[in-house]
Amino acid sequence: MGYTKESIQKVVEKQRAFFRSGRTLDVKWRIEQLKKLKKAVLDHEESLKEALYEDLGKSPFEAYLCDIGPVIVEVNEILRGLKKWARPEKHFSGLMCFPSTVTTVYKMPYGVSLVISPFNFPVLLTLGVLAASISAGNTAVIKASSKSAASTAALQKLIADVFPEEYVTVIDGGHDVADMCLSERFDKIFYTGSPAVAKHVLEAASHNLTSVALELGGETGNWCVIRKDADLRDAARKIAFFKLCNAGQICININQIAVAEEVADDFLDALKSEFVRQIGEKAEENPDYPKLITSAVYDKCVRLTAEYKDRVVFGGAGNRESRRFEPTVIYPVNENEDLVKHELFCPILPVVPYKDREIDRIMEVIADREHPLSMYVFTSDKKWAKKVMSTYQFGGGCINEVCVHMMVKGVPFNGTGHSGMGAYHGEWGFREFTHPQTVLTGRTRFNLSLREHPYSGRKGEKKMSLLKRFEK
């Protein structure tokens, strides 16, 4: 359907009225809605797989592995912990607050939330965020991506089959519709996408001082660092899998590799072998290999490959009709070239050689750029690896592994700076969509006059003496 500013405004007004009815405050009711969501995902599994194949060429296995299955895992984690997370916290008020002894922290939902989801994982990054919003007791307006039109249509049907519009609804359309949504007064906004659009979202949210969470890919992309003491075949195997996944269209994917030049040739040989072993000689002819979201992204791959044609050491071909472009390795690339200063979000993989003894210099190059969403290091030097992971700023990462850190239960996921704001998954998602509201319960008897005037003279001196004792 076509949306107008007035129609979107009516949706928001209906949701605000529904929220103010108080129904979403009941934790048992929220649990019922989460169970409905889980059942709906399972009931619509085939239609979601078909939509993901139409939009992104995802095989049924990859669609379930990366988009549908993780939603079930997320909902299950929330169902197990929600009663505990939502329970009001009781705190001793302290001597300074005497005679009050009890202070309560209520976990209050923000109200009406706006979820703006992306094209690359249209099911996971829509319904996973929705699950967090529901767990906290909010209503939700979902602006799904116009680029993944089939998935958006499937999500609209799934949500409409389960929830009334005044509670959860999915809106389709382009940037104009997104701007109409952003012009409304929401209580919480969760946006997943690029840093450039995130600035626009923040600016729009600022007019209403709306709380915002951002999940971004990072302005300058995610680095993978391979030391000369790394297990090269293990690294190559994992990196090849990751770069093939969704044809590189993943916010936590490896944007560029820094490899010790002492082992660069061996690593590249292993990486090429792994690409061939996992996807075949011609990835663009393999029906299990995903496609790029638009022809414009395909054309970008062609342009970049042509620009660096003398340094393409693997791949470089594709099929524009099917929008499949081979994983393409470009080597050598200097760390100061433009290719490694921007998030690529495609199957192109630049490789930057460095001398292993100059590892501190290459790490400083990474640190001087915008904070990435993910960081990956491959080395047998665990002490060095732990130092890097505990002193550099990024969203999350792995030592001798790729991507699976975001699948761990009970831990937060998101970035910082140009790679994000806030955090979610499990309890962290519940926290992101709630405001901790502190309430002290006072008493009408035994109130001390310590805080009241007079503050000077003998009475003031006695009060000051008591005050300092209480503060110890």
Q: Is 103 helix (H, G, I), strand (E, B) or coil?
A: strand
Residue 251 a catalytic site member: yes
User: Strand, coil or helix: what is 86?
Assistant: helix
- 458 exposure class (CB count in 10 Å sphere: 0-12, 13-18, 19+): exposed
* CA-wise closest residue to 162 among 39, 14, 19: 39
* Residue 141 vs residues 94, 134, 325, 344, 358: alpha-carbon distances, Å: 42, 11, 35, 30, 50
Pairing of β 102-109 and β 89-92: antiparallel
Residue 317 in tokens: 């071909």
Sequential DSSP letters for 132-146: HHHHHT-EEEEE--S
Task: Give the separation between CA 239 and CA 225, rounded to whole angstroms.
Answer: 11
The DSSP code for 5 is H
Radius of gyration (C-alpha) of the chain in whole angstroms: 26
77, 215, 335, 432: the catalytic one is 215
Q: Amino acid identity, residue 16?
A: R
User: Which listed residue (251, 301, 346, 403) is catalytic?
Assistant: 251
Kindly state the DSSP code that residue 413 receives in the 8-state scheme.
B
- Examine the residue annotation and report whether 215 is marked as an active-site residue of this protein: yes
To which H or E segment does residue 116 belong?
strand 112-116
Among all residues, which ones are annotated catalytic? 215, 251
